[in-house]
Chain A
Amino acid sequence: MGLFDRLKKGLTKTRQNFVGRLDEVFKGRKIDDSTIDEFEEILITSDIGMDATMEIIDGLREEVGAGRIKDYEGVKRYLKQEMLRILGLPQPFVLYQERPFVVLTLGVNGVGKTTTIGKLASRLYSEGHSVILAASDTFRAAAIEQLEIWAERSGAQIVKHQSGSDPAAVAFDAVEAAKARGVDVVIVDTAGRLHTKMPLMEELKKIKRVINKAMPGAPHETLLVVDATTGQNALRQAKMFNDAIGVTGIALTKLDGTAKGGIVFAIKKELNIPVRLIGVGEGIDDLRDFIPGEFVDALLGNEGE
């Protein structure tokens, strides 16, 4: 199965839901206030967010009013164009020159940080990079064991301390170990934390500071992991983590299965933090670079198929 097909398959549910409902609203009907209202409903229920929804709807009303859009095909073309405009150019996950390249991952509880790290490590390893995982989630029961299993599966090394120890110290040791052993990439796992808990946000800042001490310029990527089933609170999370730590990219997990994917647009529109990676399945290869064009195609279905 090709990469695009895999993405398409992962988003089947989303597409069926989204396109199916669009069909329902527009097929065989005039474009008027009532169809546009129903269209608005579809956008909102896809977690696209109020801002992006309003913008798309207002623009559509204008186009329809000016007679530039007359039918469903026109609406679809317009929607696709707007979606691509909002998402902008691809900004996928890449390693720069620095070695070791240090990735700090963060996010609220249960979004899939450890799993994402496992998949990312596996991808980097298969691309020929050596990887160290830093078990800095020293809080959650068995988090270290979970990361160990992923290290084993992906071919990465692991640096760990005991449960309950200082997460910043683990990160420091991992970066030092990577320098000493000439390892390419360090991925730091951190404990899930709600963005509203200031002491825990302070702890993250400390981890970042300490990483920077071990290697000036690091972390090179600060990756916020966000669960796609989260609603508009994802925006709050991204904003608060960004304000506190400085987020350079987002990994959006659990995009398969959920009938939504709209949060991608809300995040890009309101915060302008690039979505770098998306998780579209449980397989080890189901973590992918986020390419807006592919994503919109997979979401709306390819024209002329």
Chain B
Amino acid sequence: MFDSLSDRLEGIFNKLRSRGYLKEEDVDVALREIRLALLEADVNFRVVKDFVNRIKEKAIGQEILKSLTPGQQVVKIVHDELVHLLGDRNEKIQLAPNPPTIIMMVGLHGSGKTTTSAKLANLFKKQGRRPMLVAADLQRPAAIDQLETLGRQIDVPVYLKRETKDPVRVAEGAVKQAVLDARDIIILDTAGRLHVDDTLMEELSSIKSAINPQEILFVADAMTGQDAVNIAKTFNERIGITGIILTKMDGDARGGAALSIRSVTGRPIKFIGVGEKIEMIEPFYPDRVASRILGMGDVLTFIEKAQESVTLEEAEKLQKKIMEESFTLEDLRDQLKHIRSMGPIDNLLSMIPGLGKQIKNVQIDEREFIKIEAIINSMTPRERRNPQILNGSRKRRIAMGSGTTVTDVNKVLKQYKEMKRMLKMFKGKKGKGGKRFKGLPRFMPF
């Protein structure tokens, strides 16, 4: 995600850091490029203006000109400013002191309200809560069926009234029902509507005053263009939103909407949708997304995902191995197993700093992983620990045993070497102050 933007910024900063010092006109050039890059990424024009001005103020200060590593400084300023613009920290869903908590989903047509409603419900259910979905989209053909099907998939009850045409009555009925059934979270899926449609915006107001929701979440398509600002602003002014969910963040070349919507409404982005499957929703972390924008990868999310599938003990063991550089083919095999249990591989790889760009157009075939495992399994323990002893005859045996070719075996060995080299790089970065992987090490060439 945000690939083009990070590509552009990376290009700019490469230019900057190829020189040891920074002139004022360098800053101007960089800022113009940043401006263009942000505009092409659909960040709203005014938001870009403010952003660039703030960067300029900070960048042309003495601090930076005297700094020994000006390129790095500009990157840090841009990064910090991006984090700030995106909202500084992750904000959670507000729960009502007295259940049920009512969450109302609003947005344009096709932004992903229905799917996101189900994703949220599933998330709450996993946290041990008792969510209920409400089908208050009475406009789009089969919207009720869609929510009903999704509810069945995740085993969450869906409140629906097919005979009524009035979403206010559906909403009120749902709240009553939730109390009877001891449901502690109500997620109300409303019909998509254009922000300029007065009648339908009025309808949202009526629903709001009828049920008084804790959260009104504005669901926005991350691909939205320059109009994102007007849309978000109108929804906020007419209905008063409390948070934002950005959907379809798993596509390419965008991110503008995130910056614009956040900055124009002042409301926090709470979640992002990162795939079609029901569990593909993640909390929004401004620093991580800012890092992604700057091409620094998203190691934190990666580590979190890894933690879901690797026990702490195992992780520590792996870390120790990385530190001691004793990472063997056996470890590689175990890691591959974990990775495969963590979800789609291209998602994961894009989170690793520096890899995002390289793998953009590479499609990773999960079957390759199985092949690698088979090859490693066909080795003797001694071979796995000392791959240097692998000669032609051993390789032929391994190829036969795993149903592959000697070329495949060589490929795996090459990949293993490459991986060891990369891990060495990681190790080099982890030193300072326990802030491992975080911050700006990739941009510290000076």
Interface of A toward B, CB cutoff 8 Å: 13, 41, 44-47, 50, 108-112, 139-143, 145-146, 148-150, 163, 194-196, 198-199, 227, 229-234, 236, 254, 256-260, 263
Asked if B227 and A258 sit within 8 Å, CB to CB, the answer is yes
B41 located at the interface, meaning its Cβ lies under 8 Å from any Cβ of chain A in the complex: yes
Cα A198 to Cα B251 in complex, Å, equals 11
Interface of B toward A, CB cutoff 8 Å: 36, 39-42, 44-45, 108-112, 140-150, 153, 194-197, 221, 223-228, 230-231, 248, 250-254, 256-257, 276, 363
Asked if A231 and B256 sit within 8 Å, CB to CB, the answer is yes
Closest to B152 in A: A141
Asked if A259 and B221 sit within 8 Å, CB to CB, the answer is no
A51 → B minimal CB distance (Å): 10
A256 → B minimal CB distance (Å): 7
Asked if B363 and A230 sit within 8 Å, CB to CB, the answer is no
Contact of B252 among A146, A233, A259 (CB under 8 A): A233
Residues of B within 8 A of A257 (CB): 194-197
B39 → A minimal CB distance (Å): 6
B77 → A minimal CB distance (Å): 24
Contact of A229 among B39, B112, B143, B227 (CB under 8 A): B227
Asked if A110 and B227 sit within 8 Å, CB to CB, the answer is no
Residues of A within 8 A of B44 (CB): 45
Cα A243 to Cα B147 in complex, Å, equals 34
Also in contact, A150 and B141, with CB within 8 A (given A108-B248, A111-B110, A232-B225): yes
Residues of A within 8 A of B221 (CB): 110, 227, 229-230
Cα A142 to Cα B148 in complex, Å, equals 9
Closest to B113 in A: A110
Closest to A53 in B: B39
Cα A163 to Cα B152 in complex, Å, equals 14
Cα A8 to Cα B338 in complex, Å, equals 57
Q: Which 4 A-B pairs have the closest CB atoms?
A: A231-B225, A110-B110, A231-B42, A257-B194
Can you name 10 A-B residue pairings with CB atoms under 8 Å? A45-B44, A109-B112, A109-B248, A146-B140, A148-B142, A149-B141, A198-B363, A236-B253, A257-B195, A259-B227
Asked if B36 and A50 sit within 8 Å, CB to CB, the answer is yes
Contact of B224 among A41, A196, A231 (CB under 8 A): A231
Residues of A within 8 A of B195 (CB): 257
B311 → A minimal CB distance (Å): 31
Closest to A236 in B: B253
B319 → A minimal CB distance (Å): 32
Residues of B within 8 A of A110 (CB): 109-112, 221, 248
A10 → B minimal CB distance (Å): 11
Asked if B141 and A195 sit within 8 Å, CB to CB, the answer is no
Asked if A45 and B45 sit within 8 Å, CB to CB, the answer is yes
Cα A232 to Cα B42 in complex, Å, equals 6
Asked if B254 and A233 sit within 8 Å, CB to CB, the answer is yes
Other CB < 8 Å A-B pairs besides A145-B142, A231-B226, 8 of them? A44-B45, A47-B42, A110-B109, A142-B148, A146-B140, A146-B146, A258-B227, A263-B225
Residues of B within 8 A of A112 (CB): 109-110
Residues of A within 8 A of B144 (CB): 142
Cα A256 to Cα B108 in complex, Å, equals 12
Cα A163 to Cα B412 in complex, Å, equals 40
Contact of A108 among B39, B197, B223 (CB under 8 A): B223
B131 → A minimal CB distance (Å): 17
Cα A232 to Cα B143 in complex, Å, equals 29
Cα A229 to Cα B39 in complex, Å, equals 15
Cα A32 to Cα B224 in complex, Å, equals 32
A268 → B minimal CB distance (Å): 16
Asked if A236 and B145 sit within 8 Å, CB to CB, the answer is no
Closest to A48 in B: B226
Cα A68 to Cα B333 in complex, Å, equals 71
Cα A143 to Cα B110 in complex, Å, equals 13
Closest to A191 in B: B276
Cα A260 to Cα B231 in complex, Å, equals 11
Residues of B within 8 A of A227 (CB): 110, 221, 223
Asked if A142 and B149 sit within 8 Å, CB to CB, the answer is yes
B31 → A minimal CB distance (Å): 16
Cα A139 to Cα B252 in complex, Å, equals 22
Closest to A260 in B: B227
Asked if B231 and A229 sit within 8 Å, CB to CB, the answer is yes
Asked if A47 and B251 sit within 8 Å, CB to CB, the answer is no
